[in-house]
Homo-oligomer: A and B are copies of this chain.
Amino acid sequence: MSRLLENVCSELQRLPGIGRRTALRLAMHMLKMDGEHVDSLAQSISSFRHDVRYCRSCNNLSDNDICPICSDERRDRSTICVVEQVQDLMSIENTGQYHGIYHVLGGVISPMQGIGPSDLKIDLLADKLLTGEVKEVIIAISTSVEGETTLFYLTNRLKAFPDVKVTTIARGIGFGDELEYVDELTITHALMNRREVR
């Protein structure tokens, strides 16, 4: 086997979800692509890894010290939405319905994986609350055991700021979900948090 092909395949296999066969398929596809396109792919990978930064204010990925959301004058600085990771921030941004700012924790508390509160950007969040500008913190993290642990830790920590309202996003039946296939815990929560319609 060609050493160049062998190299590119074993490098691609370092990526999650890419096995031998997929690596080979990607490599063979690159041969059919324009040389320039392949170079710009390679270039964009290196630049992204080396040049991207974390926003000093919210820990979002950014090209500068402060991310576009934090530096946008039109965003409502009195509301902070706390998310686990950058992908979650993007999902919320995609709705176009949220106009506050964010705070990216960079993970959840997981004793099994050796991730404690000090590994997350919780102090940075507390610093922002010290300014007294924030009125509400919306905690939008997953309902896994680790997520619930993190939620518990955060709410405790936020007791130091009694004037700040702390909320979590609603749990319930998703749009398009069929009740028949929804798990019991979700249905239980959806029942408990029922809303009056008339």
Give the interface of A toward B (CB within 8 A): 1-5, 7-8, 11-12, 14-17, 22, 24-31, 33, 35, 37-52, 60-63, 67-68, 85-87, 90, 93
Choose among B17, B24, B61 the residue that contacts A5 (Cβ–Cβ < 8 A).
B61
**Do A40 and B17 have beta carbons less than 8 Å apart?**
no
Chain B residues, Cβ within 8 Å of A5: 48, 52, 61, 86
Choose among B11, B33, B44, B90 the residue that contacts A7 (Cβ–Cβ < 8 A).
B44
With A and B bound together, what is the CA distance between A153 and B149 in angstroms? 67
**Do A16 and B29 have beta carbons less than 8 Å apart?**
yes
Minimum CB–CB distance from A23 to chain B (whole Å) comes to: 11
Choose among B41, B67, B85 the residue that contacts A11 (Cβ–Cβ < 8 A).
B41
Minimum CB–CB distance from A33 to chain B (whole Å) comes to: 7
Nearest CB to that of A13 among chain B residues? B41
**Do A30 and B48 have beta carbons less than 8 Å apart?**
yes
Chain B residues, Cβ within 8 Å of A40: 11
With A and B bound together, what is the CA distance between A60 and B46 in angstroms? 30
Nearest CB to that of A90 among chain B residues? B1
**Do A27 and B48 have beta carbons less than 8 Å apart?**
yes
Chain B residues, Cβ within 8 Å of A43: 42
**Do B28 and A38 have beta carbons less than 8 Å apart?**
no
Chain B residues, Cβ within 8 Å of A49: 30-31, 33, 35, 38-39
Interface CB pairs A-B, < 8 A, 24: A1-B90, A2-B63, A2-B68, A4-B51, A5-B86, A7-B48, A8-B44, A8-B48, A11-B41, A15-B26, A15-B41, A16-B29, A24-B90, A28-B86, A30-B45, A30-B48, A31-B49, A31-B52, A31-B61, A38-B46, A38-B50, A39-B46, A39-B49, A42-B43
With A and B bound together, what is the CA distance between A40 and B2 in angstroms? 17
